[in-house]
Structure 1
Amino acid sequence: MQTLIANSRRLYPFLLPYLGILILVLAARLFYSKEDIYFFINGLHFPAGDVFFPYMTELGSGVSAVVICLLLLFFSYRSSVLMASGLILSTAVNVSLKNLFSAPRPSVYFAGHTRPIYYVPDVELLTNNFSFPSGHTACAFTIAMVLTYVTPNKKMGYLYLLFALLVAYSRMYMSQHFLEDVTGGSIVATVVTLIWLTWSGTWSFFKDPRWDGSLSRKKNAA
């Protein structure tokens, strides 16, 4: 429990604003339906957004996850291992929930709907039943949490959270997910990653100074 509290404090710049936003999102969901929220966001498209968000959404992709894990090897082996293992765990939980719920994507959910829907040009529309929870969102939030955890300047957590939120919004902007999907993905990532970071912090072997090494640091000459 003490380790959990200590880790939560290290993640305050990420967790506190996230919890505030989560409460607002859940409150909004009480007053507005799934369809209302979808069509509200669908009506907020603009030319710059049609260019920006398809790129932003890639920050939550598997390719970005691998690249970040590799880049962290140049900062510390511990950071890279925490990132890779955290991503594997959150992805495993997220994929399991996708198969459990089999929730339709917006394109499937609104098939045959008469109300006009705007789709971002040149974006491949997913048409399956793996909408909940959002995998890109879970990936982005896991990355943001681990980066907050390993970055000395904890205020960077605010920036990492912003990027994670932009990835989540991009999934709705491009009609790949509903609000419930990205909210679920963020919760899965936050809970799983916090538990994982807490548990890994109790491993005695993981406190070995050699884990602080990196590919960019050469061993001191004898």
Structure 2
Amino acid sequence: MGETRVVRRFLVVTALFAAPGLFAVAFTGRPELHAAINASLPVACDPLFRYGTHLADGLVPTGIAVVLLLTSTWRRFLMLGLSTAISALVVQFLKRNVFGDLLRPVEHLASMPELRLIDGVELNHHFSFPSGHSTAAYAMCLALAVLSGRVRWAGWLAVGAAFMAFSRVYLSQHFTEDILAGAFLGTVTAWAVHRWLYGQAMMDRAGLDRRPVGLLAQKK
């Protein structure tokens, strides 16, 4: 029951952040919305978003998963590992095989002549939709919320995921639609993994609550 309340809080906070973006996307073109957001961004926040975006790099969830593998149980390791790995595979398939013709903001500079680019950021040109960083951020943060078991932490982790996702728009690496799709994909994947691992059938499997390293040690 505790995990259910945690997931619910994460979903509510995520919906509150996503609603304005969905409304804006529904009534504004991709370049027009991106240019409007870009024009309103304070230069003082450039370092925060430039470095903060790396929290959603693949190395971060991978590192956390390794720590869980070494120190925690199979269930907790799989909660984060499967959430991030499955969502990463799905997003890469969609990027390259379904929406491969959608280009990044830098390819639309003719439509956004006043676009301010961030110094030191190497911009990508292709495979814009969905955002891989946004997907990773939401899959990782929802998984961490479940592992924390704390409702309050779930809200803050949802805020953190929103920050990491928005950093991609701030840096002109993605359009708003890209990060919203990534947020949906990452959240749904982590939610599905949670439903599976913490459902009644899987909760009865005692092996999932053993430590992987401990099992290896016993075999030796």
Q: TM-score range by the shorter chain?
A: 0.7 to 0.9
1:39 matched to 2:14: no
Aligned runs of 1:118-133 on 2, under 5 Å? 118-128=116-126, 130-133=127-130
Residue matched to 1:185: 182
Indicate how the Cα distance of structure 1 residues 104 and 71 shifts in structure 2: closer, same or farther if over 3 A, else same.
same
Question: Secondary structure of the equivalent of 1:16?
Answer: helix
Identity of aligned residues (%): 26
Q: Which runs of 5+ in 1 are unaligned?
A: none
Report the alpha carbon displacement of residue 172 of structure 1 after superposing the two structures with TM.
Answer: 0.3
CA distance in 1, matches of 2:30, 2:112: 17
Secondary structure at 1:175's aligned position in 2? coil
C-alpha contact 2:56 2:133 (8 A) present in aligned 1: yes
After TM superposition, the structure 1 = structure 2 runs for residues 46-125 of structure 1, keeping only pairs within 5 Å, are 46-73=42-69, 76-77=72-73, 78-99=75-96, 100-102=98-100, 103-108=102-107, 110-113=108-111, 115-125=113-123
> What amino acid is the match of 2:166?
Y
On the 8 A contact 2:138/2:183 being kept in 1, the answer is yes
Counterpart pick for 1:207 among 194, 205, 208: 205
Deviation at 1:58, TM superposition (A): 0.5
Change (3 A) 1:157 1:6: closer
* Runs of at least 5 residues in structure 2 that lack an aligned partner in the other structure: none
Runs of 4+ in 1 over 6 A off after TM superposition: none
Partner of 2:151: helix, strand, or coil?
coil
1:28 maps to 24
- Against the structure 1 CA distance between its residues 206 and 89, is the aligned structure 2 distance closer, same or farther, given a 3 Å change threshold? farther
Deviation at 1:195, TM superposition (A): 1.3
- Please, what TM-score do these two structures have when normalized by structure 1? 0.85
- Please report how far the alpha carbon of residue 19 of structure 1 lies from its aligned counterpart in structure 2 after TM superposition: 1.9
Q: Cα distance, 1:74 vs. partner?
A: 5.6
Instruction: Answer whether contact 1:200 1:206 (CA < 8 A) is retained.
Output: no
Q: Specify the SS of the correspondent of 2:9.
A: helix
- The structural deviation recorded for 1:30 is 2.4
Distance 1:126 1:206, change over 3 A: farther
Tell me how many residue pairs correspond in the alignment: 211
Q: CA RMSD in A?
A: 2.5
37-46 or 159-168, which moves further after superposition?
37-46
